[in-house]
Structure 1
Amino acid sequence: MLIHLLGPVAISQGGAPPQPLRSARERHLLALLAWTPNTYMSDGQVIEEMWEEDRLPARPRDTLYTHASRLRRLLRPNGPGGGYDAECCLVRRDGGYVLAVDPDVIDLHRARRLCAEAHALVRTGQREAALLLFEDALAPAAGTPLADLGSPWAARARWSAERDLIAARLGHARLALELGRHAEAVPVLSRLADRHPLDEGIAEMLMRALCLSGRPAEALTCFHTLRKALVDALGQGPAGPVAELYEQLLRLPGSSPPRTPGTPRSSLHPPSRSSAATATGPGKSGDRSGRHSGAVRGTPVPPPTERTSP
């Protein structure tokens, strides 16, 4: 049996496609308990997370007991709900509930374990094996975590899971770059750049992957997409490593920045450090918070090499 949280909340068995639970409240209860497996949650905690205060049922504990009973029947081996197996059991304990389960049965926790093992392999120099673990961890994470839940708790949990997934995808992309698999990194980094258009670290990695894949013109376009997004949102263009990489790309034979109709040529180049400092005031370097992914900042990526003809 597998419990799926890295998409719509669902259960699957024996390699069959995930089957969503029919009841939204039972999906919510399963997700809530599976998020912290083998951990006690009181009735009051569960009720607080499952229902907003102005939407509480008339008898919340009775309603919770009903949903828990239905979920328990579904999870019980050979139960009347067509249950699954003994790997997972919803246990009633001291005025609350525990989902007793091997964490590897839950896709989120299995992915976190595999990512931790991948990072350990990287530290010992086993990069090929680490890359495979990252791929295994990310395989079930094609959608949005808890995609069919809309509560405040689900929003907080989704943010946490997506942060972990971004770090895992960046770790995978970084390893692919270090191992010379530049083309493999491009699709992952392109999707991340689309979802995080202000992140200079992601853009820098994507530019390197494109350039080292023989696509320097697309790398330049990536920089200008980033620059436009930053200027529109923050009034200031890129600086630091991504701007330095852009200047390196411009020095490659035959490289020239892309232009759009009506764009002055001078605006195609990033401001110098002195002009950026002037724009933010004396003695200030500008607030660049939120513009670098924590998983990217300070992480070395492969140096650019001489361009070969695409």
Structure 2
Amino acid sequence: MPLSSVMGRAPVGVLGQLERRVLHGVGCGLRDEEIAAVLAVPESVVATNLERILAKLGLRDRAAAIVHAFDCGLVLADHGPRAHAVAPVAGSVVGRAAGPRVRISVLGPLQAWRDGRPVNLGHLRQQAVLAALALCAGRTVSRRELLEGVWGMEPPVTNVVPVYVYRLRKALRLGDGPDSVIEHDRGGYGLLSDAVEVDVAHMERLVADAATVGRAGEAAEAVRRCSQALDLFRGEPLSGLPGPLAELERLRLTERRIAIVQRKVQWQLRLGRHCEAIAELFALSAAHPLNEPVAATLMRALARSGRQAEALAVFDRARRRLAEDLGVAPSGMLRRAYQMVLRGDEAGPGPTGTRR
């Protein structure tokens, strides 16, 4: 396919030399700091150029830029996204293109990619072993922990953990050699931190970045970082995986997603983007009708927009569902939100206890 026309996008020829090299690095799966190290430029320069690339090519986000880099031939798909070093800027010092060779996603059905290619992870129990290692990235996981986390009170009759790890090591080996991203020592098993990226860690970095820019008064950028974090969720986390650890992590990561949406909404409201915030909250409330903080936040956002009747209807629906499903009355937080709407007090306390 010619570079001049890919999927109706603007040709990459509109990009400057540095922008093309940044796009190449993004397509290779490198993070901003990695591209900056390779090109010997400040990380802020990489971020600025990426924003220009997205605008010039009409791309929505970084994920779309990665796809575009492959589609236009800037990155060769059959060589994997990290097989190429980023071409250096003229006159710069060339660094080594470091970075993860394996990507693991747990924010949905478990998936893994080695050098950009999907990996067959075997049956569900074997996948659950990899999920346990991914969720404990950065430390060694003992065989006992794996048994308890994947099998719970019904351990296997035979010692299958080493067998599953052996198969996973083969599937996730580095290049054509015997080395794998899974290490084994006397304490147990672990992932090589510099060779693996887990989407949960990426998500948490984005949330931390959002908090940082939010404290600096850059609410719009905080909203953008939260959106990027939420885009990493591909459905129910660890969908279908067995074991107590997967079940606990499903609940934790689901709650984490709710918290990120609420944080994003707070910044949207601060920016006066009430319609966007309300749409996010309605979707979240429909998915989690028994979550009282979500209902209270939605009531507050509706009240601020002058939609008191709808805010009261949210309270009524939440009250009925709590009574029917759990046999309980609304909490004090939800009742306070109700009283706030009745008084027309748009500056009342929200779930975080803050005031506008």
Equivalent residue number for residue 293 of structure 2: 201
Within 5 Å, give how 1:268-279 maps onto structure 2. none
224-233 or 124-133, which deviates more: 224-233
User: Take 2:273 and 2:128, find their aligned partners in 1: how far apart are those partners?
Assistant: 40
TM-score by length of structure 1 reads 0.70
Equivalent residue number for residue 65 of structure 1: 162
Equivalent residue number for residue 47 of structure 1: 147
Contact 1:38/1:101 (<8 A) preserved: yes
Residue 157 of structure 2 aligns to a residue whose secondary structure is coil
Q: Percent identity?
A: 30
Offset of 1:202 from its aligned partner?
1.7
Offset of 1:29 from its aligned partner?
1.4
1:56 to 149, 156, 171: 156
Offset of 1:36 from its aligned partner?
1.3
Q: CA 1:129/1:237 → structure 2, altered by over 3 Å: closer, same or farther?
A: closer
User: Take 1:104 and 1:192, find their aligned partners in 2: how far apart are those partners?
Assistant: 31
User: Take 2:337 and 2:313, find their aligned partners in 1: how far apart are those partners?
Assistant: 13
Q: CA 1:103/1:132 → structure 2, altered by over 3 Å: closer, same or farther?
A: farther
Equivalent residue number for residue 266 of structure 1: none
Equivalent residue number for residue 185 of structure 1: 277
Q: CA 1:25/1:54 → structure 2, altered by over 3 Å: closer, same or farther?
A: closer
Within 5 Å, give how 1:1-310 maps onto structure 2. 1-12=102-113, 21-58=121-158, 60=159, 63-79=160-176, 89-102=181-194, 105-213=197-305, 215-232=307-324, 233-237=326-330, 239=332, 240-248=335-343, 296-300=351-355, 302=356
Q: Which residue type is aligned with residue 4 of structure 1?
A: S
- Map Cα deviations across residues 93-134 of structure 1 (whole Å, 9 max, x no partner): 115111112498211111112112211222222211111111
User: Take 2:238 and 2:212, find their aligned partners in 1: how far apart are those partners?
Assistant: 28
Q: Which residue type is aligned with residue 236 of structure 1?
A: A
Q: CA 1:14/1:175 → structure 2, altered by over 3 Å: closer, same or farther?
A: farther
Offset of 1:153 from its aligned partner?
1.5
Offset of 1:172 from its aligned partner?
0.6
Residue 250 of structure 2 aligns to a residue whose secondary structure is helix
Segments of structure 1 that go 5 or more residues without pairing to the other structure are: 252-294, 303-310
Segments of structure 2 that go 5 or more residues without pairing to the other structure are: 1-101
Paired positions, count? 250
Q: Which residue type is aligned with residue 93 of structure 1?
A: D
Contact 2:213/2:219 (<8 A) preserved: yes
User: Take 1:234 and 1:103, find their aligned partners in 2: how far apart are those partners?
Assistant: 49
RCO (CA 8 Å, sep 6+): is it higher in 1 or 2?
1
For the aligned residue pairs, the C-alpha RMSD in angstroms reads 3.1
User: Take 1:4 and 1:127, find their aligned partners in 2: how far apart are those partners?
Assistant: 28
TM-score by length of structure 2 reads 0.62
Contact 1:41/1:98 (<8 A) preserved: yes
Equivalent residue number for residue 285 of structure 1: none
- Map Cα deviations across residues 176-211 of structure 1 (whole Å, 9 max, x no partner): 111111111123212332344344332122123334
User: Take 2:227 and 2:252, find their aligned partners in 1: how far apart are those partners?
Assistant: 20
Offset of 1:170 from its aligned partner?
0.7
Q: CA 1:158/1:150 → structure 2, altered by over 3 Å: closer, same or farther?
A: same
